[in-house]
Amino acid sequence: MADREKLNLTVNSDNATVDADAGATLLTVLRDELRILSPKRGCNQGVCGSCTVLIDGTPQRSCLTLAVTCEGKPVQTVDGFDADTKMALLRDQFQQNGAVQCGFCTSGMLISAWHLLQEDGALSREDINAGLSGNLCRCTGYQKIVDSVAAASKEASS
């Protein structure tokens, strides 16, 4: 049996203590211990971006991150943005532009897009494409996602 550790995490501004395997990934702890299901287990190899969360303000793949390394660092999933105006813009644009189909990639896309919107000024399409390049979508063909981020960026910078 694997060694277990008590981990003290701050997720979406809430403090949580979990008893997890010493080698557990943040994704496993979020989904299986804390029941936060928005980060998805896609490829489980850091390729698809469906598990993307913010760790200390930086987008990270939670499937590759050991949970123990997150002690003392704020972790934010897409669920932790209820009062955030830029995330509200993104969610609204994703809905208006039909950027969500199956929804599997959406939480990771929104986290990456939100991080992009922290830049000053409107983003170019090239900036958006580069910023979302680590997030895979099998449904939309990306155009509606890029359109949504561009519209949110324009609205946020005006």
Q: Are residue 93 and residue 116 in the same domain, yes or no?
A: yes
| Alpha carbons 97 and 111: distance in angstroms, whole number | 18
pLDDT of residue 2: 63
Q: In this structure, are 90 and 152 located in the same domain?
A: yes
Q: Which residues of the chain have pLDDT under 70?
A: 1-2
Pair 102, 119 in one domain: yes
Residues 64 and 91 in one domain: no
Q: Which domain holds residue 140?
A: 83-157
Co-location of 105 and 71 in the same domain: no
Q: What is the pLDDT of residue 51?
A: 98
pLDDT value for 111 = 98
| 46 and 107 part of one domain | no
Number of domains in the chain: 2
Say how many CA atoms lie within 13 Å of 81 toward its Cβ.
Answer: 22
CA distance linking residue 74 with residue 11, whole number of Å: 6
Residues 43 and 87 in one domain: no
Structure tokens at 44: 């489980």
What secondary structure letter does DSSP report for 74?
E
Last residue of one domain, picked from the residues 61, 78, 95: 78
Q: Which residues are CB-contacts of 60 (< 8 A; sequence separation ≥ 6)?
A: 26, 52, 53, 54
Of 78, 113, 141, which closes a domain?
A: 78
3 state SS of 6: strand
Residues 62 and 123 in one domain: no
Specify the CATH number for the domain of residue 17.
Answer: 3.10.20.30
Among 12, 46, 78, the domain boundary falls at 78
Kindly state whether residues 51 and 87 are assigned to the same domain.
no
